[in-house]
Amino acid sequence: MKTRFHKKLYPARAVKLAVEAFAEVATVTVTKDGDYTVVDLESGDCAEDAEYLGEFENYVLGETISMRGVK
């Protein structure tokens, strides 16, 4: 399953950290498409792919917020 992260909202480093964290539980492929970082995530179980992808998106969001710092 694929998802896209716009560079204005998500820093590339946040996506990279998430890819490293999910590498053990899924096959993650990253490509570039204009302003977007495209992530293709395959866990091996189609029924769980959506859940993995959702968790991946939340992870990237968490890293993004962490990088921006508490204000």
Partner 1 sequence: MPAKKTDSGSEFRATVKGDSAVIKFHKSLYSTDALFGTAFVFLDRCYVHCDMADADHVEVVLVPRSESKWSLAELAGEFKNEMVNQALRFKLAKQTEKVRTMIVGRAIGESIPEEGNAQGGPVANAVPELPPEVAKLLSEEEESLDFLDDPFGIAVPWEEKYKKDEAAKADPDKV
Which positions lie near partner 1, rule CB under 8 A? 3-4, 6, 8-10, 35, 50-51, 53-55, 57-58, 61-62, 64-65, 68, 71
The alpha carbon of 14 is separated from its chain's Cα centroid by a whole number of angstroms, namely: 8
Query: What are 40's two structure tokens?
Result: 């293709």
Give min distance, CB of 48 to partner 1, in A: 10
Query: Residue 10 gets which letter from DSSP?
Result: S
Q: Please say which residue, 8 or 24, places its beta carbon nearer to partner 1.
A: 8
Give min distance, CB of 43 to partner 1, in A: 15
Q: Where are the alpha helices (DSSP H) in the chain?
A: 12-22, 46-68
